[in-house]
Amino acid sequence: MTDSTNAHDAAAPQPEQNPASAAPANDAAGTPDPIAAAQALAERLAAAEAEIAELKDRALRAAAEVENTRRRLERDKDEAVKNAAGRFARDIIPVAENLTRALTSVPADAELPEPVKNLLTGVEMTERELLNVFERHGIKRIDPRGARFDPNLHNAMFEVEDPSQPAGTVVHMVSFGYTIAGRLLKAAEVGVSKGGPRPEAVGVDTQA
């Protein structure tokens, strides 16, 4: 009985053995390719870096625009202040000129009564204080006497025959000039020498 049973079992078909099925199952969809994963990660990193660079560039541009706007507003503010001061100075300059005319109209060696002397002293103090106020606000008086004539600062009213002075030298002043922050408020009215040596010839030995 045992022999027949063994013979029957040997004759029975045995299940087919698949060598691949003997190995562990490998799900292709669930196991990512390491190279592809690395490439995808590198692309995401590059995209993130590009976005960061773009955002940084935008931030720098915005900061630069804010700074430029601040500087422009500051410049416009300074310009408005200077223009306002310049308009006020132009209006007050005639007062300073009248004080100067009053002082220069009195001869230095004139014998004056005491009340007139006191009045003259008061005018001098007023002119001095006015010039101090000008100085504090950047307004400067131009005294061109002895300087070379400059059409940007001086207004020639007449010419003077003076061979002792180089031609084009300011030898007489009718009125002072004034500037504010380096800009001309009022040109100095002057008399200019003519007939003298040319400025470039002054001090040159012509007999050499």
Q: Please tell me whether residues 119 and 184 are part of one structural domain.
A: no
What one-character-per-residue DSSP string does 85-96 give? HHHHHHHHHHHH
Instruction: Residue 70: give its domain's CATH number.
Output: 3.90.20
Q: Please tell me whether residues 57 and 133 are part of one structural domain.
A: yes
Residue 17 lies in a domain: no
Segment of 12-26, 69-83, 162-176 carrying the highest mean pLDDT:
162-176
Cα-based distances in Å from 29 to 19, 36, 143, 154: 22, 13, 96, 93
CA 69 to CA 148: how far, in whole Å? 42
Which domain range does residue 62 map to? Answer: 48-137
Specify the pTM. Answer: 0.57
pLDDT of 29 reads 54
Instruction: Residue 156: give its domain's CATH number.
Output: 2.30.22.10
Q: Please tell me whether residues 132 and 144 are part of one structural domain.
A: no
Q: Are 205 and 171 in contact (CB under 8 A)?
A: no
Q: Please tell me whether residues 61 and 109 are part of one structural domain.
A: yes
pLDDT of 205 reads 41
Q: Are 112 and 104 in contact (CB under 8 A)?
A: no
pLDDT of 201 reads 47
Residue 78 lies in a domain: yes
pLDDT in tens, 73-128: 988 888 887 777 788 888 889 999 999 888 888 887 778 888 888 998 999 999 99
Q: Is the pLDDT of residue 57 over 60?
A: yes
**Mean of per-residue pLDDT scores for the chain:** 80
Question: Which residue, of 137, 155, 180, is where some domain finishes?
Answer: 137
